[in-house]
Structure 1
């Protein structure tokens, strides 16, 4: 990914005040509403004690808003210029995790950067989207149709996927691959090339299954038959389904959820936070939460449609797909539709890395929106 030094073409961009005026503040309020749902759910997960989860959630969101608005003011052309450096930085962090990362629950996924514990695999997805968008920017149909042109971009996807699998973190690795595929699709890569990759994946699936860790194979077996190990691997999903069903239409009420507060529901502040919401606020609360989350996804694609340059369009589509996959995987997981994996519900689950990563992504998205009319010349030699 080689870029020209001359990126800032023609104008130098609008002033800071003008950029602030162009920020869609209704979207910022929407994010605040989603984070508020998370605050209430985490307050309940802490049995009314805000110090356990909710207060940290609010502080992280507040810091994230500052980061997001700061990135929104950065010229999109500057972001494109340093896309490859961001990608390389993400790769370095993934390597450092494997060498010196902290181990938790059998996986080595976190690294300490000063007082902050970061999960680089989350940030890598954002860096990958930006790097791929820069690679495909202004590429002609002929170049995109050339398999040799796609090889560097494919390696750029497979490298972080492989490093994340080594942690091991199968769920995040799969999402990273799917986010990369979404950018490929949006850039105009022909469908038959995806079909070839899919066929190769189907052939390799049995071999890959044999190479999975024992707990990963147990998750797949439990997904197919949760009752086969009701007190072991199947416990989480069985309790989640009980909590989801017991909430009914309107729920049991705030702080009244029995599965959560009697500690039957595992990881209620992180992976299973949606189950907490459904039990205490019922189907109405669950659908309201999903509706607000999907409005966030819809805005991402609105930015893509309104962008006049390929870079901003691909960034918005990639980030929107990443956010959607967060939601889809988490909700499908707690409802028993897919095997259980450690994927949080964005802006709602407790967790600093996920919050920071999501807000960085939204900052880049807002930069694409604010600079949607920017003149962007070719970035490859």
Structure 2
């Protein structure tokens, strides 16, 4: 009889699973999730079941975060090579017999239709963090070259699909690991300077490079059009430049305090394209204005800074590199999305974390948060 009374309660059984969870990180995610639900209700209440589906996706991401957070960093490291090999193998399969939609071959049918490039958003930093962990204390220039090749293979396959947005995210995650691993500045500054020169030449010779019939090597036609549209959206205001122009109008019309919740005319008169996905930041800006934007940016900065703090406090090189790279995924998502909607970056189809609608992206974000929670939890358990 006493054994029945001594049986631990559900709360006591669950306590070890949540012990060590990072409170500040969870608070930042909570703020962004609230902003996402608020914005989705306003921009998507008349858009089918978007609001309910967005809430479901957030719950799914939370569940994935909770599950991944239970996996110790050392166990995560054991998944690095298999997950990377699986992801690259599926990308090759996509290139050979993948499903083509709207001119892009990005999906494959394995009983269910999946987009393998999403796997690499997590597999890439895992693989490179594992690579540098194995060479801790004996890094040579050759190790950075190998890391670059490991990064170049999936990025090249994703760009070939073509999928510029996902390739940028995978590249950013991989480059973050390489940078945090100690890449010398003498190898960073030349490409950076070359990029600035290239941007300057692109702006200076825009009239020639974007002239009718002029074709750029390497880039696809639609990618060239996106860059040219960014440089001068007024050339085709009702066509290629429509997205950027309407996004900037919505952001500017929000003013200092915005038009108010559910009062955005650009949004509800459907001038903003993809108002629940890629361009939801324009809808948010119109209704909440500059003050709302600053609060949203502050929430993202808080999330990024907390992630970097977790990386700095991590006990192993693998954990530090992985946490730093995963944190930069959030930064890249937010920076690229806000930049393209504001007209300072080309439109590449990158969602705004927790705000934009999208199930696949939410699963990736849930896994990334779970990894950060796992690393933070491992450090706290060691300290206790």
The offset of 1:50, in angstroms, is 7.5
- Is contact 1:122–1:353 with CA below 8 Å preserved after alignment? yes
Equivalent in the alignment of 2:245:
238
Equivalent in the alignment of 1:267:
274
- Is contact 1:308–1:373 with CA below 8 Å preserved after alignment? no
In 2: Cα distance, 1:246 partner to 1:287 partner: 16
Equivalent in the alignment of 2:362:
355
Structure 1 pair 201–275 and aligned structure 2 pair: CA distance change class (3 A): closer
In 2: Cα distance, 1:372 partner to 1:31 partner: 20
The offset of 1:138, in angstroms, is 5.7
Question: Normalized against structure 2, the TM-score is what?
Answer: 0.85
How many residues align? The count is 357
- SS of 2:105's partner is strand
The offset of 1:237, in angstroms, is 0.5
- SS of 1:256's partner is coil
The offset of 1:203, in angstroms, is 10
- SS of 1:300's partner is helix
Indicate the larger mover: 332-341 or 189-198: 189-198
Give 1 or 2 for the bigger CA radius of gyration.
2
The offset of 1:289, in angstroms, is 1.4
In 1: Cα distance, 2:336 partner to 2:73 partner: 30
RMSD after superposition? 2.6
| Residue 32 of structure 1 pairs with residue 30 of structure 2 | yes
The offset of 1:204, in angstroms, is 10
**Deviations 1:88-108, CA, capped at 9 Å, x for gaps:** 122123233334444344322
Structure 1 pair 32–101 and aligned structure 2 pair: CA distance change class (3 A): farther
In 2: Cα distance, 1:265 partner to 1:202 partner: 31
In 2: Cα distance, 1:201 partner to 1:37 partner: 35
The offset of 1:16, in angstroms, is 7.2
Gaps of 5+ in 2: 1-12, 203-214
Structure 1 pair 43–100 and aligned structure 2 pair: CA distance change class (3 A): farther
- Is contact 1:316–1:368 with CA below 8 Å preserved after alignment? yes
- Is contact 1:307–1:373 with CA below 8 Å preserved after alignment? no
- Is contact 1:19–1:370 with CA below 8 Å preserved after alignment? no
Equivalent in the alignment of 1:122:
118
Question: Normalized against structure 1, the TM-score is what?
Answer: 0.86
Equivalent in the alignment of 1:59:
56
Structure 1 pair 103–257 and aligned structure 2 pair: CA distance change class (3 A): farther
In 2: Cα distance, 1:118 partner to 1:199 partner: 38
Matches within 5 A, 1:1-381: 17-46=15-44, 48-49=45-46, 51-111=48-108, 118-137=114-133, 139-141=135-137, 143-144=138-139, 146-195=140-189, 209-372=216-379
- Is contact 2:20–2:381 with CA below 8 Å preserved after alignment? no
Structure 1 pair 256–100 and aligned structure 2 pair: CA distance change class (3 A): farther
The offset of 1:152, in angstroms, is 2.6
Gaps of 5+ in 1: 1-14, 376-381
